[in-house]
A and B are shown apart, each in its own frame.
Chain A
Amino acid sequence: GAVVSQHPSWVICKSGTSVKIECRSLDFQATTMFWYRQFPKQSLMLMATSNEGSKATYEQGVEKDKFLINHASLTLSTLTVTSAHPEDSSFYICSAKSYSGANVLTFGAGSRLTVL
């Protein structure tokens, strides 16, 4: 079945540094990937839609310069949290649409970011 790999699964960084999270579709091509943020005991908040070969579409209230998204190939999208601060600490999850029928998404395992 469709598999989405997300890396790293957890990362701790100092305030002011940048962190890159990778999302790969392992056995299928994904022209569109999605990035979510999840706070403890809360639902997923869609941050942006990543489109292969073009600019990402950001949801209202999400800072484009803060959360840089690059979708350079059909199997890889990256999210870079720039100049991270403690309030950016969260669980970030990516997903990709794995086939063209139902709008079924395959999710990565998530990346836990802790900013000190």
Chain B
Amino acid sequence: GEDVEQSLFLSVREGDSSVINCTYTDSSSTYLYWYKQEPGAGLQLLTYIFSNMDMKQDQRLTVLLNKKDKHLSLRIADTQTGDSAIYFCAEDGSARQLTFGSGTQLTVLP
């Protein structure tokens, strides 16, 4: 079946770059996504990448996709305290439904 894995925690200092990694198993994914969840809230779409792309940049966010290794990463440049949240990667595989990773808790230290 489809499986998406992420590390659970990441801590960075304010102003540094954050890199959140994700691996997935379904090679038929069309799009891969990054969502952000702040405490007590729903999920907010940050960005997504089409599976035939290697990289997508949107302001402070850079998504890298290595389709051969089924590895997705999200880089946040100049990380701010407001970036502290849980970040979920997701893929839409053969089931055409989103499968979410376990989420990575990003903590930004002053």
Contacts and interface: CB of A to CB of B under 8 A. Distances in A.
Interface of A: 4, 6, 34, 41-44, 46, 49, 93, 95, 102-110, 112
A88 to B, nearest CB: 18
Contacts of B101: 43
A9 to B, nearest CB: 9
A43 B89 CA distance: 10
Contact of A106 (B45, B88, B103): B45
How would you classify the secondary structure of chain A's contact residues: helix, strand, loop or mixed? strand
B41 A105 contact: no
Interface in B44-84: 44-45, 48, 50
Top 10 nearest A-B pairs by Cβ distance? A107-B42, A103-B92, A107-B43, A102-B31, A43-B102, A109-B42, A110-B42, A43-B100, A44-B100, A108-B42
A49 B42 contact: no
B60 to A, nearest CB: 19
How would you classify the secondary structure of chain B's contact residues: helix, strand, loop or mixed? strand
A46 B97 contact: yes
A109 to B, nearest CB: 5
23 contacts: A4-B42, A6-B42, A34-B97, A41-B105, A42-B102, A43-B101, A44-B43, A44-B100, A93-B43, A102-B30, A102-B31, A103-B92, A103-B98, A104-B31, A105-B43, A106-B45, A107-B42, A107-B43, A107-B44, A109-B41, A109-B42, A110-B40, A112-B40
A42 B30 CA distance: 25
Given A43-B102, A93-B43, A104-B31, 14 more contacts: A6-B42, A34-B97, A43-B88, A43-B101, A44-B43, A44-B88, A95-B42, A102-B33, A103-B31, A103-B97, A103-B98, A105-B98, A107-B42, A107-B44
Given A93-B42, A109-B42, A104 B48 contact: yes
